[in-house]
Copies of this chain bind each other. A is one copy, B any other.
């Protein structure tokens, strides 16, 4: 066979195949997508590299930059139409030497597992020692007032509510202690803050996460750390015996000037409406204690695989589909803001954005932030997902990184995996690769791809999204 004839033949085969795939029933397309992900997925290998070869990827760190370079190269290998880096300035905070904490009871030293909260200042070089006052919430803090709080370490010990079915609701009910605990306690003269880890298990892992001093002047800022749930229980018990116990902790973290980093973006340009954009993404940065496999390595590799699975399944989207790997979700959201800012500057019309940032667990469905009219349309697709045990389609939040894109016309969505184990690992040293199951990860990637396919095929043009319900 001559080369020219060979090329012709291959072109014909490719065209026939493309035609075949695009004329398939939706049921068949979804079957192809899921089968491809489960038999020929790339997400798990990518996650292995991100987790085990690179590791924790806090914004501004060397690892974060390695992750930028790695994912850019991997996206380039996929034969997308464009791959580029979008510059963004990000905060840089470093934990420094491992923290230490203990308290003494009857001459016996109880070592305690703590970790500095992201953004906290360090203690003095020799550490901080003070009495402890335990509170459940800010109201209690206010009731106690300066008299009882001044000079003490405030210990926030409100546990996550175990009877809520969705663990994110339990997190939402507790996280103000972590985020605003220091700024609130400092107002009453506290010298430090210890926060019960946002964890539904009883174990020894302290869970970090972002905190803020708000408008607090620099000289009033106090160090703030998370304590493991086991040690929170031990400390609380010890305080009941001896209110005057001395608690010592030392942390060595430091905030640096902002540094340059990047969102990583890849695009399949749309065949019919190239100027309408649909994005899938996760965040490339992670906390530093584990390797960030669930939060949010999983979302990153699933999003990358969405574009690859579309190509592998022979699908040619009508609109431009982008994967966006956002930098700095954890302690600044600079990547998400930058992406939306640039999209606005360039007057890019974004019609759909999907984020995966709830762990690489078995997918259950999606949460949608969109108009009622769009949501009722999307709900019609539920039967297509039933064979894959995807059942959860509810209105609600989507994802932090895509939030800045919100307007009246866009559909924002968040993948909703099973949430029961998420906070066992979230922001802790045990957020590691071995806790991600390959199949669960791949099912998530397929579920995202299926939604992107349907949104591209039906979701955007059939009903004008600007058509608002008037009544």
* Chain A contacts to B: CB under 8 angstroms: 34-35, 38-39, 162-163, 165-167, 200-201, 362, 364, 387-389, 391-392, 418, 420-421, 424, 437-440, 443
Contact of A163 among B38, B364, B389 (CB under 8 A): B38
Which of chain B's residues have a CB closer than 8 A to the CB of A421? 437, 439-440
Q: How far is the CB of A404 from chain B (nearest CB, A)?
A: 29
A420–B34 contact, CB under 8 A? no
User: How far is B388's CA from A438's CA once the two chains are assembled, in angstroms?
Assistant: 25
Q: How far is the CB of A166 from chain B (nearest CB, A)?
A: 8
Asked whether A165 and B388 contact (CB < 8 A) given A418-B362, A418-B418, A443-B420, the answer is yes
Contact sample, A vs B, 26 pairs, CB 8 Å cutoff: A34-B163, A35-B163, A38-B162, A39-B162, A165-B387, A165-B388, A165-B389, A166-B389, A167-B439, A200-B439, A201-B438, A362-B362, A362-B418, A362-B420, A364-B389, A389-B391, A389-B392, A418-B418, A420-B437, A420-B439, A420-B440, A420-B443, A421-B437, A421-B439, A421-B440, A424-B437
User: How far is B167's CA from A439's CA once the two chains are assembled, in angstroms?
Assistant: 10
User: How far is B438's CA from A421's CA once the two chains are assembled, in angstroms?
Assistant: 9
Q: How far is the CB of A263 from chain B (nearest CB, A)?
A: 31
Knowing that A162-B439, A165-B443 are A-B contacts, what are 8 other residue pairs whose CB atoms are under 8 Å apart, sorted by A's residue number? A34-B165, A362-B362, A362-B418, A362-B420, A364-B389, A391-B392, A420-B437, A420-B443
Contact of A391 among B34, B163, B391, B440 (CB under 8 A): B391
For this chain, the copies found in one complex come to 2
User: How far is B34's CA from A443's CA once the two chains are assembled, in angstroms?
Assistant: 28
Which of chain B's residues have a CB closer than 8 A to the CB of A35? 163
Q: How far is the CB of A6 from chain B (nearest CB, A)?
A: 31
Asked whether A163 and B39 contact (CB < 8 A) given A389-B364, A438-B201, the answer is yes
Among residues of B, the one whose C-beta sits closest to the C-beta of A200 is B439
Which 4 A-B pairs have CB atoms at the shortest separation, nearest pair first?
A: A391-B391, A35-B163, A38-B163, A420-B439
Among residues of B, the one whose C-beta sits closest to the C-beta of A37 is B163
Q: How far is the CB of A425 from chain B (nearest CB, A)?
A: 11
Which of chain B's residues have a CB closer than 8 A to the CB of A389? 165-166, 364, 391-392
Which of chain B's residues have a CB closer than 8 A to the CB of A364? 389
User: How far is B439's CA from A420's CA once the two chains are assembled, in angstroms?
Assistant: 7
Which of chain B's residues have a CB closer than 8 A to the CB of A418? 362, 418
Which of chain B's residues have a CB closer than 8 A to the CB of A39? 162-163
User: How far is B389's CA from A39's CA once the two chains are assembled, in angstroms?
Assistant: 28
User: How far is B391's CA from A165's CA once the two chains are assembled, in angstroms?
Assistant: 14
Which of chain B's residues have a CB closer than 8 A to the CB of A439? 162, 167, 200, 420-421
Which of chain B's residues have a CB closer than 8 A to the CB of A200? 439
Which of chain B's residues have a CB closer than 8 A to the CB of A162? 38-39, 439
